């Protein structure tokens, strides 16, 4: 058998082993869905929504300009529990971020 055929068989065997190994890794599953959309899809109800805008200093190379950061705060409720989420959009960085945490009395 030629060296090329042996090398090809070895490569296929290695690739097959990697595929089965990776598929056997237990990937973490979040306990609660992440984000406002995910929460509402699982029965959380938006009970309050507060919108505001913050003017912040610009970032390089636009440090001479002001940037607007829009922040929406959502309060959600389900089964007597309360969740608060913040969705912010930074106009200068063109970046949206979302953070949620359970509200503790």
- Report long-range pairs for 59-65 (Cβ below 8 Å, ≥24 apart): 59/92, 59/93, 62/92, 65/92
How many helices (H) and strands (E) are present in the chain, helices listed first? 2, 4
Q: How many other CB atoms sit within 10 Å of the CB of residue 91?
A: 14
Note the pLDDT tens digit of each residue in 12-45.
554 554 444 444 565 555 555 689 999 999 999 9
Residue 91, both tokens:
């106009």
Whole-model pTM: value is 0.65
Give the per-residue pLDDT at 67: 92
Q: Compute and round to an integer the Cα radius of gyration of the chain.
A: 24
């Amino acid at each position: 058998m030629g060296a090329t055929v042996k090398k090809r068989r070895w490569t296929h065997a290695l690739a097959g082993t990697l595929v089965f190994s990776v598929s056997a890794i237990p990937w973490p599953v979040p306990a609660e869905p992440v984000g406002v959309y995910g929460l509402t899809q699982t029965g959380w109800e938006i009970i309050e929504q507060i919108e505001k805008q913050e003017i912040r200093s610009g970032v390089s190379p636009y440090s001479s300009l002001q940037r607007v950061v829009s922040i929406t705060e959502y309060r959600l409720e389900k089964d007597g529990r309360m969740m608060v989420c913040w969705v912010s959009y930074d106009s200068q960085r063109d970046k949206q971020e979302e953070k949620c945490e359970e509200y503790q009395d």
